[in-house]
Amino acid sequence: MSKSEKYEAGLEVRKAVLGEEYVNKALAAADEFSGPLQELVTEYCWGTVWTREGLPRKTRSLLNISMIAALNRPHELRIHLKGALTNGCSPAEIQEVILQVAIYCGVPAAIDANRIAREVIAEYESDKP
C-alpha cells in the first residue's frame, strides 16, 4: 500500500471511529505547523495500525482508553471514549477498563477517566434516537 493509499485508508477509519465532523474540523484547523502531525497521525496511526487485522476495532478502542487514561490525556480520552462507543464497546466494558487502570496505573488516573467516561456515556446515550 502506498503512502497516499495508507493515508486514505487511515482517513476512512479515523472518520468511522471518531466521527466525520471531528476529523474534518481537525484537518481544516491544520496549518503549516500542525499539518504534518495530522498527516502522520492519519497515515500511521489510523492507516497503518488501525487497519491491521490482528485486533478488532472494539479491542483497539479499549486498549486506547486504558493507555490514554494512564497518560492523563483528558482531551484525547474524551474523543476515544466516543470512538469506543461507536465501535460497540459497552459502558460496562469501559467501566472494567477504568477499574483495571485504577489498579495498574493509579486511582487518580482512574478517577479522572471515570468522570470523563460518565460524561461521554451520558452525552452518547442522550444523542440516541
DSSP string, 22-43: HHHHHHHH--TTTHHHHHHIII
Residue 32 corresponds to which cell in the numbers above? Answer: 503549516
CA angle 90, 93, 99 (to 5 degrees): 145
Residue 128: predicted pLDDT: 75
Residue 127: predicted pLDDT: 86
Residue 3: predicted pLDDT: 65
Domains and CATH numbers, the chain: 1-52 (no CATH), 55-129 (1.20.1290.10)
All residue ranges of the chain with pLDDT < 70 are: 1-3
Tally Cβ neighbours within 10 Å of residue 77: 24
Residue 2: predicted pLDDT: 62
d(CA 112, CA 80): 14
